[in-house]
Amino acid sequence: MTKQIRINAFTQCSICPQSKGQWKNPADHSSAGYRDLDYWIDLAKTLERGCVDALFFADVHGVYDVFGGSMNAGIQHAVQFPGNDPTTLATVLARETQHLGLIFTLSTTYYPPFHAAKLFSSLDHFTGGRVGWNIVTSYLESAYKNGLGSQPLEHDERYDQADEYLDVAYKLWEHSWEEDAVSRDVHADVHTDPTKVHRINHKGQYYSVQGPHMCEPSPQRTPFLVQAGQSGRGTEFGAKHAEALFCGFRDIQEAKEKTRTIRDLCEANGRPRDAIKVLPGVCIVCAPTEQEAQEKYREYLSYSSPEGALALFGGWTGIDLAGLEPESVLDNMESQGMQFLAQWFNSDDPNNRATLMDVMEYMSIGSLAKVVVGTPAQIADYLEAMVDEADVDGFNVIPVAQPASALELVDLVIPELQRRGRFKTHYEGNTLRENFSHTSHPRLDPTHHAFTLSLESP
């Protein structure tokens, strides 16, 4: 049986987040729209019309200020700045749609776990179980300088801290309240049975949280868990916690190898090999004919802001490329926590080393996601090949212009996938977890690490 493809739509509560300069494109409405409920509601309804699994919101907490040693380029070119808090959109989008999942990025570095647990439980209640959490550990020096989190930790220690953070959250979500604690027994004058609500009394290396959790069990209890780490330690973290992994692969061969590694790690964690849905980022430029698609790609490129692209690159990598010539070859790009980016550009093949021009183009459209340009059939061929040959489960689709990219996806690409029997024509479950993992149970799989914990765990 052919594997069904999952599709998330990537976005950020900001301006053309991964494709710098598109705010100048009349097909992009994000510059005024990101502050406006109508814009978001229209986007969510479009995606739901296409049975897209979830709208995925990234988020950042500081300005990009590495390029040229200043924040000027980041501000001038609207590099994920300004931006609003995306979690505030959850209830209105849940109200205006019936099925679309809503995934929000929240950093373990910046929010106390007790708050994060309350926030996600609240959202899970109000969305009827349609919420997901993209777990990130943060790296921006500029966010730390905004009074968020403690002194930035070394990359691997960040993940140690995040492991403990997740344990606190699981204890609150899965262990603090028994399922039937709320009895609403008018006769006995018992709203909630106190013997069924527990303190968690967590005392660890990084966190000390007494509990109980403020929220009664929500439809999914634990939100659907997504993660985006790429490094060795990040993948290890994902294999333990995540139900979906958002990642970047240069080609099918790399995707195949890394997906196998992820499934191996997943199995080593006592989970089914397919417990994690692997979702590479892909940036789609689609039109009815190949010529139109290529023209559209060139038009997108004509709006791009190379300086904005380099500001984004600087923020991600900590590497300032200001002052280089377009033909300069890039060396020494290894940077803490950003090995993936360095790898992307530093091919082992010495004839294939990246120039500044390459970086600018890669970062201008889709920002490191694989860009595929073509007809619906060509796009579908690529997506099917990735799923069939590399064994990935679907895609996080990065927009170029918004809502134009969402309309291309829903009106051109998805109908083709549906014709091929690779994409659903209606939502089957009620919760994000049911829809995404094709299970009939809204809760975390019993093999998940969360259930190895007890309230006596350190």
Using CA atoms of 286, 287, 290, 291 in order, give the dihedral in degrees to the nearest 10.
Answer: -120
Distances in whole angstroms, Cα of residue 102 to Cα of each of 25, 41, 123, 243: 27, 12, 9, 15
Nearer to its own copies, 181 or 379 (CB): 181
Q: Is 349 in the site for its own copies (CB under 8 A)?
A: no
Residue whose token pair is 């992994």? 245
122 touches its own copies (CB under 8 A): yes
Q: Does 83 bind its own copies (CB under 8 A)?
A: yes
Can you say whether the dihedral through the CA atoms of 400, 403, 406, 412 is positive or negative?
negative
Peptide bond into 219 cis (omega under 30): no
Q: Please, what is the minimum distance in Å from the beta carbon of residue 14 to its own copies? A: 9
- Map the footprint of its own copies across residues 215-254, applying CB under 8 A: 215-216, 218
Residue 21 near its own copies by CB under 8 A:
yes
81 binds its own copies (CB under 8 A): yes
Span 439-458, contacts to its own copies by CB under 8 A: none
Piece of 155-163, 188-196, 365-373, 392-400 that binds its own copies (CB under 8 A)? 188-196
Q: Report in angstroms how near the CB of residue 305 gets to its own copies at its nearest.
A: 6
Site residues (CB under 8 A) for its own copies, limited to 192-211? 192-194, 197, 199, 207-211
Count the neighbouring beta carbons within 10 Å of the beta carbon of residue 256: 16
By CB under 8 A, tell whether 78 contacts its own copies.
yes
Task: By CB under 8 A, name the one of 2, 191, 385, 441 that touches its own copies.
Answer: 191
Piece of 79-87, 224-232, 339-347, 445-453 that binds its own copies (CB under 8 A): 79-87
Least distance in Å: CB of 362 to its own copies?
Answer: 20
Q: Is 37 in the site for its own copies (CB under 8 A)?
A: yes
- Measured CA to CA in angstroms, residue 107 lies from 112, 113, 135, 158 at distances of 10, 10, 6, 11
Token duo for residue 176: 């603090």
Return left, alpha or beta for 99; rule: phi > 0 is left, psi -120 to 50 is alpha, else beta. alpha
Residue 363 vs residues 22, 78, 141, 151: alpha-carbon distances, Å: 12, 14, 21, 29
For position 146 contacting its own copies by CB under 8 A, the verdict is: yes
Question: Taking contact as CB under 8 A, which single stretch among the options 34-42, 233-241, 281-289, 339-347 is the one that binds its own copies?
Answer: 34-42
What is the closest distance, in whole angstroms, from the C-beta atom of residue 112 to its own copies in the complex? 5
Closest CA to 24 of 283, 305, 295: 305
User: From the list 126, 340, 427, 451, which residue makes contact with its own copies (rule: CB under 8 A)?
Assistant: 126
In the bound state with its own copies, the residue whose beta carbon lies nearer, of 215 and 247, is: 215
* Interface stretch with its own copies, choices 109-117, 220-228, 272-280, 431-439 (CB under 8 A): 109-117
Q: Are 428 and 439 in contact (CB under 8 A)?
A: no
Closest CB 94 distance from its own copies, rounded Å: 7
Q: Is 256 in the site for its own copies (CB under 8 A)?
A: no
Q: Which of 4, 45, 75, 391 contacts its own copies by CB under 8 A?
A: 75
- Residue 17 as a binder of its own copies (CB under 8 A): the answer is no
Task: Look up residue 217 and give its two tokens.
Answer: 């069990």
CB neighbour class for 248 (10 Å; exposed up to 12, middle 13-18, buried from 19): buried
Q: Which residue has the tokens 């550009």?
A: 345
- Interaction between residue 31 and its own copies (CB under 8 A): yes
- Letter for the amino acid at 392? V
| Pairing assessment for the beta strands 208-209 and 202-203 based on DSSP bridges | antiparallel
Q: Residue 365 in contact with residue 371, Cβ under 8 Å?
A: yes
Tell me if 184 contacts its own copies by CB under 8 A.
yes
Contacting its own copies (CB under 8 A), which of 180, 186, 327, 440?
186
Q: State how beta strands 370-374 and 131-136 pair.
A: unpaired
User: Which range, of 184-192, 343-351, 401-409, 429-437, touches its own copies by CB under 8 A?
Assistant: 184-192
**Cβ contacts of residue 352 below 8 Å, gap of 6+?**
none
Angle between helix 252-268 and helix 232-241 axes, rounded to 10 deg: 50
Q: Kindly state the helix (H) or strand (E) to which residue 265 belongs, with its residue range.
A: helix 252-268
Residue 320 is a binding residue for its own copies (CB under 8 A): no
Query: Which one of 54, 63, 225, 413 is in contact with its own copies (CB under 8 A)?
Result: 63
Binding its own copies (rule: CB under 8 A), the pick from 10, 17, 18, 23 is 23
Number of residues near its own copies (by CB under 8 A): 78
Assess 106 for contact with its own copies (CB under 8 A): no
Residue 2 touches its own copies, criterion: CB under 8 A: no
Which structure tokens are listed for 346?
């530093």
Q: Identify residue 85 by its one-letter amino acid code.
A: D
